[in-house]
Amino acid sequence: MKLVALFKDSILQTLDCKSLYVSVALGALFVLVCASISYSPMDEREAIQGMVEQFDRVMIVRTRPPGGRTFEGVTWTVSDVRKGSGDFEGGYEFKLAVSNLREFHDLVRFWRGVEQGKITGSDDPVPEGEVDEAGEIKFLRGKFRERVIMKTRIERGEASEDKRVFDVAIRAASPERLEGMYQAHFFFGAFSWPLGVADQKLSVAQFMLVMQLVLSQYVAGMVGILFGVIFTASFIPTMLQKGCIDVLLARPISRTTLLLSKYAGGLIYGAISGGVLVGGSWLVLSLRSGVWNWGYLASLGTLILFFAVLYSIGALTAVMTRSTIASMIVPVGAWGLGFGVTWVKQTGTQPLSPFQLPSSISTALEALSWFLPRASDINVMNQWFMICGSMGPGVEEITSEMGLPEVAWIRILLSSGALIVATLGLASFVFSRRDY
Amino acid sequence: MPVIELRSLVKHYRNVHALQGVSITVEKGEIYSLLGKNGAGKTTIVKILLSIVRATSGEAILLGRPAGHVESRRKVGYLPEDHRFPDYHTGWSALDYYAALSGVSGAERRSRIPEMLRLVGIEESGRRKIRTYSKGMKQRLGLAQAMIHEPDVLFLDEPTDGVDPVGRKQIRDVLVHLKSQGKTIFLNSHLLSEVELISDRVGILELGKLRREGTVAEMTVEKDIYELRLEGAFDALMPEIARRVRGVRRIAGGVEVDVENAEKLNALVDYLRANRVALVGMTRKRQSLEDVFIQEVGVAGQGA
Ligand SMILES: Nc1ncnc2c1ncn2[C@@H]1O[C@H](COP(=O)(O)OP(=O)(O)O)[C@@H](O)[C@H]1O
Ligand SMILES: [Mg+2]
C-alpha cells in the first residue's frame, strides 16, 4: 500500500507538469505516423523478375570485409506467372528462362565453391567441374533460400545449347517475405515507395526489420530515453526538498524503502511510456504489414534495462545534490561519456582506423566503460532480438548466414545489474545517513 | 512508561553545538512545550526523536523504542516548521498520500480526510491544488496531515506560525481537544502566551541547554512581584530599594519589585514613607511565563 501511494505520488507529479502532455502527444503522433504506413502488392511478374535478376550476385560473407562477385552476362526472364495452388497456396508458379549458359554455369560453379568454402575472395578463379541439371536446380533453390523462401519446387523443362527453362513454384513463409513484391505508402498514401534501394529489392519483412532497428535504436533508444530521464529527474529531488522531506521521514517507512520506491516509480513511469511508444508502434506496424516481429517488442526490455541504469545514476545524483537539473545532466553525461569511451576504444583498436591506442590505454578505457552506461551493449541486444524475431518458422538453419550478432548475455546482464545495485546502494547509504 | 525520554542528548552539526546534553521526559497525555529563541535547538530535538537527524550522543526514546526505529514512528504525527507540500497535490490527495504512508487503509482514508479538512477549516479548498493555498491554509493542512492517522503523540513545531489570530484560537482548540482524547503533545514555540494557556509543563531551552523546566504554575508563582505607584523623589532611593529586595525595575510612575515576603514589602513601604515618598497604588503581579522566559534567556524571543 505504501509503495502504491509513493508511485501514485510520482504519477500525480508527472501529470502536473505540462511537458508530460507534450511527450504523450509526441508519442501518439509517432504511433499515428507508423499507422499511416500501408502496403500494396506490385505487379507480380515484375516483382519476381526483379528478384531473380539478383541471382547473378554471389556474396562471400566469410571474408572480412564481405565481398562478392556478379556474373552480369546471364539473362533471366520470368513469364507465365500464376498464383500457386495446393502446397504452394499463397505463393506463385512461373516459368524462368535463363540464357547465356556458359556464364550461368560459371555462376553456379562459383556459388558452389563459396558454399563449399573453397572460395574465400571475389578474385578467386571459378572452380572447374560439371554442372548438371541437379546442380542447376540446387543453385536456384539456394538462391531462393537466401531470400528466405524455403519452399520451392523446381523442374527443368526445355533445355537447349544456350538456354534453360525451369518450371518454378515458390512459397515464402508469407507473401510479405517476398522481395520487391510490395510497395509502401506513407502518410496515408501521400507518397509511395517500391521497397528497395537501387536494384536491391526489399521484402516487407526486411523493410520492417530495418525500420524497427532504427526505431528501437534511435527513436525509442535515444529520444525516448532522453525524455524519460528528463521527465523522471524531478521525482527524487522534489521528495528531498526542504520542508517536504521532513513530513515524509516522520512516517513509519525506512529511508531505503522511500528511495527505492521512488526509483521504482520512475522505472514504472519509464516502462509505461516506453511501452506505449514501442508497444503502440509495434502493434500498428504489425497490423499494417502482417509481419509480427516479437523482437521489436522484446527490445522494450533492453531499453528499460538501460533506462534503469541511467535512472540509478540520476537517483544517486539527486541524493547527493537535491537538484533536478543535475539529476538530468549527470546521467545523460554518463551516457555520452560511456558512448565516447566505447567508441574511442573500439576505433583505436581496429586495424584500419585513423588512430591507434596503445594496449594499456585501451585496457584502461575498457575498464572505465564498466562504470558507465554501455549503450553499445543495448544496441547489440536489440539487434539480436530483432533479427531473431524477423525470421519466420523453419528459417533457423540459415541463421548463421544472416549473421546474428554475438551477444554476451551473462556479461551484459551482470554488469548492468551490478552497476544499478552499486549505484543505488551508494545512494541509499548516503540517504540513510544524512541529516535533513 | 514515559512517551518521550531524552537522556543527555548531544548534537553537533559540523561545528555548531546545537544540543549540549538535554534530558527531558514527557508522560502520556501531557502537553509539553519547549520554549526558546531561534537557534536554541528546539527543532533539532524533535528531528532527533523522529530520526530526521541523528544524535551525536545520548539517548532518545519514543513510545518505548529507540528513535530511529521505523515502528516508533507509526503512532506519531509531526508538523514541521516551514513545512512544504509538493504543490502538485491537492489538500485531499496530500492527506491521502501521507495517511497511506502511515498505514491507514483506503476505506478509512476516505472517511477521515473530509473529517480532517473540516476540523482544520479548509473543507472547501480540499480539491484545490496546494499551490493556490495561502500560508495559513498550508499551516492548517500541515496540522491535518499530522493528525490524519490518529497518532498517539504529536510533535508540533511552531504550529501557529503564519496563522491569523482566529486561526490561532482554532488551533489551540484543536490541541485541547486532542489532549482530552489522551494524546501526548510536544510543542515547540516562541509564542509564550499561547503555550502558557494550554501547556502542562514547559521547558526553556537556550543554546542547546535546558535552563528550566516545570509546570506553568510552578514557574510562575515562585516570585511575587508588586507594582508600586509612587509619588516623590524615589529615584535617589533606588540603590537602597535594590538592597532591600530581590529584584527591582523602574517603571513609569513607580517601581516593580520582587520581594521574598509581605514583611519585607511592609518594611520597604515604611522606608519609602520615611523618605517622603508616598505610595499611591499597589498591584500584585503574578509573573507571566514570558517574564520567566525573558529572565532566563535575557532577551525576548524574536517574533513573540
Ligand atoms: N542541518 C543543519 N546543519 C548545520 N547547522 C544546523 C542544522 N540545523 C540546525 N542547525 C543549527 O543548530 C542550531 C539549532 O537549530 P534549531 O534546532 O533549528 O533551533 P530552533 O528550532 O530552536 O530554532 C542552530 O544554531 C542552527 O543554526
Ligand atoms: Mg525551530
CATH number for the domain spanning B226: value is 3.30.70.260
Nearest residue of B to residue A250 by CA position?
B50
The whole-number mean pLDDT for each consecutive block of 10 residues of chain B, a chain of 304 residues, reads 93 93 94 91 95 94 90 91 90 95 94 93 91 89 93 92 80 87 92 79 92 82 79 89 89 88 88 91 77 65 39
SS3 content of chain B, % helix, strand, coil (to 5): 40, 30, 30
The most distant pair of C-alpha atoms in chain B lies apart, rounded to whole Å, by: 79
Q: Is A121 exposed, middle or buried (0-12, 13-18, 19+ CB in 10 A)?
A: exposed
pLDDT above 70 for A387: yes
Domain residue ranges of chain A, discontinuous segments joined by +: 2-35+203-433, 43-180
The pLDDT assigned to A64 comes to: 61
Pick from A1, A6, A427, A4: which is nearest to A248 by CA?
A: A6
Indicate yes or no: CB of B52 within 8 angstroms of CB of A2: no
CB-nearest partner of B80 from A5, A243, A252: A243
Indicate yes or no: CB of B100 within 8 angstroms of CB of A5: yes
pLDDT tens for each residue of A124-135: 889 988 899 999
Note whether B108 contacts A: Cβ–Cβ < 8 A: no
Residues B184 and B269 occupy one common structural domain: no
Q: Is residue B36 part of a domain?
A: yes
Q: Is residue B260 part of a domain?
A: yes
Residues B61 and B181 occupy one common structural domain: yes
Ligand 1 binding pocket mutation candidate from B14, B43, B191, B192 (most atoms within 8 A of CB) = B43
Q: What is the mean pLDDT of chain A?
A: 87
The pLDDT assigned to A89 comes to: 84
Residues B226 and B210 occupy one common structural domain: no
pLDDT above 50 for A11: yes
The pLDDT assigned to A394 comes to: 45
- For residue B47 and ligand 1, the question of a CB distance below 6 A is answered with no
The pLDDT assigned to A172 comes to: 79
Contacting B with CB below 8 Å, chain A residues are 1-2, 4-6, 8-9, 12-13, 15-17, 238-239, 241-254, 433, 435-436
Residues B32 and B173 occupy one common structural domain: yes
The pLDDT assigned to A51 comes to: 86
Pick from B222, B196, B205: which is nearest to B31 by CA?
A: B196
Residues B255 and B115 occupy one common structural domain: no
The pLDDT assigned to A337 comes to: 94
Check which CATH number belongs to the domain holding B53 and give it.
3.40.50.300
What pLDDT band is residue A402 in, cutting at 50, 70 and 90? low
The pLDDT assigned to A392 comes to: 59
**Å from A419 to nearest chain B CA?**
29
Nearest residue of A to residue B130 by CA position?
A16
**Using a CB-CB distance cutoff of 8 angstroms, which residues of chain A are in contact with residue B89?**
9, 12
The pLDDT assigned to B194 comes to: 73
User: Residue B191 belongs to what domain range?
Assistant: 4-218
Residues B104 and B228 occupy one common structural domain: no
**Å from B53 to nearest chain A CA?**
4
Helix A225-232 to helix A324-348 angle (10° resolution) is 150
What pLDDT band is residue A317 in, cutting at 50, 70 and 90? very high
Give the atom of ligand 1 at the shortest distance from the alpha carbon of B81: 21
Note whether B293 contacts A: Cβ–Cβ < 8 A: no
pLDDT tens for each residue of A161-215: 889 999 999 987 777 777 777 888 998 888 888 887 766 778 888 888 888 888 8
Residues B91 and B105 occupy one common structural domain: yes
The pLDDT assigned to A398 comes to: 45
Question: How far, CA to CA in Å, does A175 sit from each of A44, A172, A290, B142?
Answer: 11, 6, 9, 66
The pLDDT assigned to A27 comes to: 82
The pLDDT assigned to B303 comes to: 38
Beta-sheet strands, E only, within A172-242: 182-186, 191-194, 196-197, 200-201
Residues B18 and B60 occupy one common structural domain: yes
What mean pLDDT do residues A251-275 have? 90
- For residue B43 and ligand 1, the question of a CB distance below 6 A is answered with yes
pLDDT tens for each residue of A55-114: 999 988 766 666 789 999 999 999 999 988 888 887 899 999 999 999 999 999 999 998
Neighbours of B135 (CB within 10 A): 11
Q: Is residue B297 part of a domain?
A: no
The total of structural domains in chain B comes to 2
pTM of the model: 0.79
**Using a CB-CB distance cutoff of 8 angstroms, which residues of chain A are in contact with residue B88?**
12-13, 15-17
H/E stretch holding A207: helix A204-214
Q: Is residue B154 part of a domain?
A: yes
- For residue B36 and ligand 1, the question of a CB distance below 6 A is answered with yes
DSSP-H helix ranges across chain B: 42-49, 91-101, 106-119, 135-147, 165-180, 192-198, 216-221, 238-244, 262-274, 289-297
Ligand 1 binding pocket mutation candidate from B9, B11, B12, B13 (most atoms within 8 A of CB) = B13
Residues B140 and B278 occupy one common structural domain: no
pLDDT tens for each residue of A327-356: 999 999 999 999 999 889 888 887 777 788
What mean pLDDT do residues A404-412 have? 82
Residues B142 and B278 occupy one common structural domain: no
Note whether B114 contacts A: Cβ–Cβ < 8 A: no
Question: How far, CA to CA in Å, does B253 sit from each of B64, B228, B232, B236, B244?
Answer: 55, 8, 10, 14, 20
Note whether B25 contacts A: Cβ–Cβ < 8 A: no
Q: Is residue B147 part of a domain?
A: yes
pLDDT above 60 for A400: no
Pick from B48, B76, B42: which is nearest to B60 by CA?
A: B48
Give the atom of ligand 1 at the shortest distance from the alpha carbon of B44: 17
Count interface pairs A-B at CB distance under 8 A: 90
CA B294 – ligand 2 centroid, Å: 18
The pLDDT assigned to B223 comes to: 64
- For residue B148 and ligand 1, the question of a CB distance below 6 A is answered with no
Pick from B7, B18, B89: which is nearest to B53 by CA?
A: B18
The pLDDT assigned to A198 comes to: 65
Question: Given the DSSP bridges, would you call strands B278-286 and B224-231 parallel, antiparallel or unpaired?
Answer: antiparallel
User: Which of the residues A3, A9, A21, A434 would you substitute to probe the B interface, choosing the one with the greatest number of B C-beta atoms within 10 Å?
Assistant: A9
The pLDDT assigned to A297 comes to: 92
pLDDT above 50 for A6: yes
- For residue B82 and ligand 1, the question of a CB distance below 6 A is answered with no
What interface predicted TM-score (ipTM) does this complex get? 0.79
**Using a CB-CB distance cutoff of 8 angstroms, which residues of chain B are in contact with residue A13?**
86, 88
Residues B192 and B257 occupy one common structural domain: no
Residues B241 and B153 occupy one common structural domain: no
